[in-house]
Amino acid sequence: MEYSKLISITGLSGLFEMVGSKTDGAIVRSLDDKSTKFVSSRVHNFSHLESIEVYTVRENVNLVEVFQAMAANKTALPAENDPKAVKAYFEKVYPDMDFSRVYASDMKKMVKWYGILKANEVELKITEEEEEAGEGSEA
């Protein structure tokens, strides 16, 4: 399963793999229960995980960088329903996070999503842009 095909859908919990798209929505597969269904773009908004950024005290970073830091750290994941433990976890794992702009609900969601990604053995990397190959031909 590729990280680039994973999306979050407003109003639905968990993560989904984009199986196909239509003009009025998308066919998605839940990573939790593996069910496949059509989701209308008239009712829901879709966010590719690759496009989500996290506020830091420096420049914003892509969500995958936070997931990679979580993978590199051997600290056990905190309970999602304990906001203090979740914040303490991120203070240790990713101290550059801007805790005044990243809400507790966002951190809770990152912990939940990381657990889903880990359970589904998703490789945490962004697909390389093909622009890099094309830049050398401009002369």
> Domain residues for 103?
52-119
45 and 63 part of one domain: no
CA torsion angle for 13, 118, 68, 98 (degrees, to 10)?
30
Closest CA to 125 of 136, 134, 117, 113: 117
Q: Are residues 43 and 29 in the same domain?
A: yes
d(CA 72, CA 12): 29
Q: Are residue 64 and residue 109 in the same domain, yes or no?
A: yes
The CA distances from residue 87 to 75, 100, 135, in Å, are 13, 11, 41
Residues 28 and 64 in one domain: no
For position 63, what pLDDT does the model report?
96
Q: In the chain, which residues have pLDDT < 50?
A: 130-139
pTM passes above 0.95: no
In terms of domains, do 21 and 62 share one?
Answer: no
Q: Are residues 109 and 57 in the same domain?
A: yes
Please state, in angstroms and rounded to a whole number, the distance separating the CA atoms of residues 122 and 54.
20
* Percent of the chain residues past pLDDT 90, beyond the cut: 81
**Domain shared by 21 and 36, yes or no:** yes
Task: Look at residue 126 in the predicted model and tell me its pLDDT.
Answer: 81
